[in-house]
Amino acid sequence: MTDELVHLDLDGPRATITLDSQHNRNALSRRLVAELFAALESAEADPDVRVVLVRAAGKVFCSGADLSEATADGMEEGARRIVALQRYVVTMGKPVVLRLHGAVRAGGIGLVAASDVVIADEEATFALTEVKLGLAAAIISLTVHARMNPRAAALTTLGGEVFGGRDAAAYGLVTEAVPGDVLDVRVEEVCGQLATGAPQGLRESKAILNRDLVARIDAHGEEMAALSARLFASDEARAAMAAFLNRKK
């Protein structure tokens, strides 16, 4: 057995990366982000891999930022690392497919938006909950606002309410939402289709598709990271996060 939070399985043309930090609902802790980075880099470096599948163990795909770390140590470095993670996913030379089930919240939605193809269980739930904690969806806006239509982005960002897989597909956040009993079948189909692409074709096609998104991240990433760190450090947000963590105990 291993205590790693992210598992990497290399199997011919596919690399499968599994988030497995179930004790904190796959929150984006410093350690999980570091391990996810390492797994993505290994997949990118493997000449046999043509498609990267990201999935999660447990009932929750990702609960967002690790609030216990944020309240103790602040978010300055953590925000920059999440910006860098989104950029790396976007700029990889191989398509990244995300298999989504369960709940995905706040910062985890940035990983969803950074991925190239997202197949979601229609029963999956999403929420940009930052606004309820005195925060803003700052660093993830870099990718989320490039995927979602503007009206949907305003509704979900300002309201912070939960929405489902079908709405996520209609809003442009995910590629498809399918019934849970066919989720794995559809993911297999998509990964198999993408794996038929030639490496150069995949790399150059993805670069064209994501050119504007990379420019957006490079232009605004530092600003959004600084804003996120400032908001996390504010008295209003720290009080709201402490109350939220106390309710979970």
Give the CATH number, domain containing residue 134.
Answer: 3.90.226.10
pLDDT (tens digit per residue) in 60-105: 999 998 988 887 777 889 999 999 999 999 999 999 999 999 999 9
Helices and strands per DSSP (H, E), number in the chain: 11, 10
Instruction: Specify the residue for token string 């590629």.
Output: 175
pLDDT of 73 reads: 74
Question: Would you say residue 187 lies in a domain?
Answer: no
pLDDT of 54 reads: 98
Output the CA angle 121-176-109, nearest 5 degrees.
Answer: 70
Domain count of the chain? 1
Question: Would you say residue 218 lies in a domain?
Answer: no
Question: Would you say residue 22 lies in a domain?
Answer: yes
130: which residues sit within 8 A by CB, 6+ positions away?
A: 106, 136, 137, 138, 157, 160
Question: Would you say residue 232 lies in a domain?
Answer: no
Q: Is the pLDDT of residue 1 over 70?
A: no
Rounded-to-10 torsion of CA 35, 80, 212, 99: 30
65/82 Cα distance (integer angstroms): 9
Closest by alpha carbon to 17, among 45, 49, 51, 55? 55
130 is catalytic: yes
153/147 Cα distance (integer angstroms): 9
Structural domain span for residue 145: 6-181
What is the DSSP code string of 2-25?
Answer: ---SEEEEEETTEEEEEE--GGGT
pLDDT (tens digit per residue) in 131-170: 999 999 999 999 999 999 999 999 999 999 999 999 999 9
Catalytic residue among 4, 69, 76, 130: 130
41/94 Cα distance (integer angstroms): 11
Residues in the chain: 249
pLDDT (tens digit per residue) in 162-205: 999 999 999 999 999 999 999 999 999 999 999 999 999 999 99
Give the DSSP H or E segment for 136.
none
